[in-house]
Amino acid sequence: LKGLSAGTYRVRFDAQSGNLRSIFLGGSTDYNSATTQSITTADINNVDVTIPAGKSISGTIMNTVPAAIQGACVTAYKQNGQDGFWGGAWAGGSCTNAAGEFLIRGLEDGDYKLRIEPPMNSDYGPGYFTESGNPSKSADDGQVFTIGSSITNLSQILLTGPKFTATVKDGSTPVANVCITAYKKVNNYGWGDWGGSSCSGTDGKVNIRGLTSGDYTFEVRPNAGDYQNGWYVQSATTSQTKSDAT
């Protein structure tokens, strides 16, 4: 590494081939536990690191025909007791080839959930691997895979579903970088279950694909300009009050 300014660093090593784990200097796989390295004006040489072998998860992603789905990306999230939005700490990922096959390498022993993101511009829905073979939108419903040795021959079937399309405008002018999130109603309390999201391009168009049947509200979050956050109201401007949402 060249051109570093003086300061304190955490150094991560990622193998570019083979079934090796990604680690930080000092041997930890956790950012918060990683050894820090102070750099002043002097070079630091001969930092030797042994990268341990890891385990892998592999399988196929298909549709209901069944036919292989190319370009679906599978991400492994390690369960750490502090799951967060995606259901765990990111541990690795892989996108399917023409045969629908994925292979995630370099995983350490532990419990994992797997999330599938369908190919761009498809009508398949995202979700987490389940024992039923069809992904669930909720991380809580995701199957836990315990890795002590490599896991092979997993399979999930992606389902298509309805989509929500809209064009975000300021008057008659399309607005880019506005993100809309669909929440499926499950009861009369809270926002509901996350169903999907999409952000507008320069044409202002938003397309949330792969929704399951049900009642939804749509949160609108602009990431540019001085626009307010709000909720989608049919044939009207957004409202900051969720009870007004269509």
Q: List pLDDT tens digits, range 56-101.
A: 999 999 999 999 999 999 999 998 765 555 668 888 899 999 999 9
Residue 32 has pLDDT above 60, yes or no: yes
Question: Confidence band (pLDDT; 50, 70, 90) for 218?
Answer: very high
pLDDT recorded at residue 86: 62
- Which residues 6+ apart lie within 8 Å of 195 measured at CB? 137, 181, 182, 183, 184, 208, 211, 212, 216
Tell me the HSE value of 44 on the side-chain side, using a 13 A CA sphere: 16
pLDDT recorded at residue 95: 97
Alpha-carbon span 245 to 234, nearest angstrom: 8
219 touches 207 (CB < 8 A): no
Question: Confidence band (pLDDT; 50, 70, 90) for 245?
Answer: confident
Q: Which two tokens stand for residue 92?
A: 């690795």
pTM for this structure?
Answer: 0.75
Alpha-carbon span 117 to 73, nearest angstrom: 5
**pLDDT > 90: percent of the chain:** 50
Dihedrals φ, ψ of 72, to 5°?
Answer: -80, 135
Average pLDDT score, the chain: 89
pLDDT recorded at residue 82: 59
Question: Confidence band (pLDDT; 50, 70, 90) for 31?
Answer: confident
Alpha-carbon torsion (100, 88, 179, 192), positive or negative: positive
- Which residues 6+ apart lie within 8 Å of 132 measured at CB? none
